[in-house]
Amino acid sequence: MPTDLHALAPAPVLAGAQVLDDIRALLARFVAFPDEHSINAAALWAAHTHALEAFDTSPRIAFLSPEPGSGKTRALEILELLVVRPLLTVNVTPAYLFRKVSDEAGPPTILYDEIDTVFGPKAKDNEDIRGMLNSGYRKGATAGRCTFRARTSRRRSCRPTRPWRSPDSTTCPTRS
């Protein structure tokens, strides 16, 4: 039985401020932030992931605490519900990360738990990952890679821009 589309009620349009207030309320409900400014920053960062194409640079967000069990992972788990194409990860290889940012479905927002294993005193051989994440704050940054297909080497450039995410999937290496 066909439905008269004109009889359906339109979905309510929420004002930007209302959306931010709702994001802020969700974050505040499940994460213990040190102050009101931190809640606002996290809400704005989550919203920012939905409008990345409008910006030339992108901020990073970090949840830092010397204490284990302080809620850093919980903050990332809640952000996973709010950001564009979330990729919550703890330990990845450079090959996996480069392939994920070149995913045909679109670039992910990388939510990297235990980031001190890449940047902190526990960091070891993570130069490739550090390089990609460090250059990803601005449009146009590239990380070069060689791929091999049928014994032929091809040079590719990966553009690691976004808040821990990359836009242009056509310029990154793909699985051979």
Span 128-153, pLDDT tens digits: 888 888 777 777 776 666 666 666 65
pLDDT digits (tens, 9 = 90+) for 37-87: 999 999 999 999 998 888 888 888 988 887 888 899 999 999 999 999 999
**Number of domains making up the chain:** 1
Other C-beta atoms closer than 10 Å to the C-beta of 101 total: 27
User: What does the alpha-carbon distance between residue 88 and residue 79 come to, in Å, rounded to a whole number?
Assistant: 9
* Percent of the chain residues past pLDDT 90, beyond the cut: 29
Residue range of the domain that includes 66: 16-171
Higher pLDDT, 150 or 113: 113
pLDDT at residue 119, as a whole number: 80
The answer to whether position 98 is within a domain reads: yes
Residue 156 contacts residue 171 (beta carbons within 8 Å): yes
The answer to whether position 136 is within a domain reads: yes
- Token readout for 7 is 């009889």
pLDDT at residue 38, as a whole number: 95
User: What does the alpha-carbon distance between residue 100 and residue 121 come to, in Å, rounded to a whole number?
Assistant: 26
